[in-house]
Amino acid sequence: MSRQVVRSSKFRHVFGQPAKADQCYEDVRVSQTTWDSGFCAVNPKFVALICEASGGGAFLVLPLGKTGRVDKNAPTVCGHTAPVLDIAWCPHNDNVIASGSEDCTVMVWEIPDGGLMLPLREPVVTLEGHTKRVGIVAWHTTAQNVLLSAGCDNVIMVWDVGTGA
């Protein structure tokens, strides 16, 4: 009969410190739409959060240095006609983000350097081709302007964002 050895955790002496209120984002209405992707994306300039929106899908884009209470009337990226399910920042341009939605479209947005001052309603490119909701968007890590989208139609599309094809 063999004896089992119980290992103690290598993290047993690690203790976390809660972040201070001035280092957090407060009062963000995160989306209640259930999907298996993350509800946020971050890059060196911005954090994007999928939020509740009436009449369609939207997400917030907040500068990393501007923490604290988020105004309920903060401008959003709001071009989809149904809830946004996934967002992903472009690895080659910190101002470009893609979003996939239940409206079967993928949209690519360009965020101004200082962040949003007004709601952003017009995407740079709208990619249409899925017949059911788009749940996953992902940028190619080394090739510029290459975006992947996967939908509930069991189709994976590889897009050239520069041409929209």
82 residue type, one letter? A
15: in domain:
no
pLDDT at 89: 92
Question: From first to last of its 165 residues, what are the pLDDT tens digits of the chain?
Answer: 566 666 677 777 777 788 777 777 777 777 766 667 778 888 888 888 888 776 678 888 888 878 777 778 888 888 888 888 889 999 988 888 998 888 888 889 888 888 888 888 888 888 888 888 888 899 988 988 888 988 888 888 898 888 778
2: in domain:
no
93: in domain:
yes
Question: Which residues does residue 51 pair with via DSSP β-bridges, in sequence order?
Answer: 30, 58
Domain of residue 120, residue span: 21-160
> What is the C-alpha to C-alpha distance for residues 163 and 3, in angstroms, rounded to an integer?
63
30: in domain:
yes
* Domains contained in the chain, number: 1
115: in domain:
yes
- Can you give the CATH number for the domain in which 99 is found? 2.130.10.10
112: in domain:
yes
The Cβ of residue 60 has, within 10 Å, a number of other Cβ atoms equal to: 24
At 121 the three-state DSSP class reads coil
Is the alpha carbon torsion for 157, 161, 164, 165 positive or negative? negative
Q: What predicted TM-score, i.e. pTM, was given to this entire model?
A: 0.78
89: in domain:
yes
29: in domain:
yes
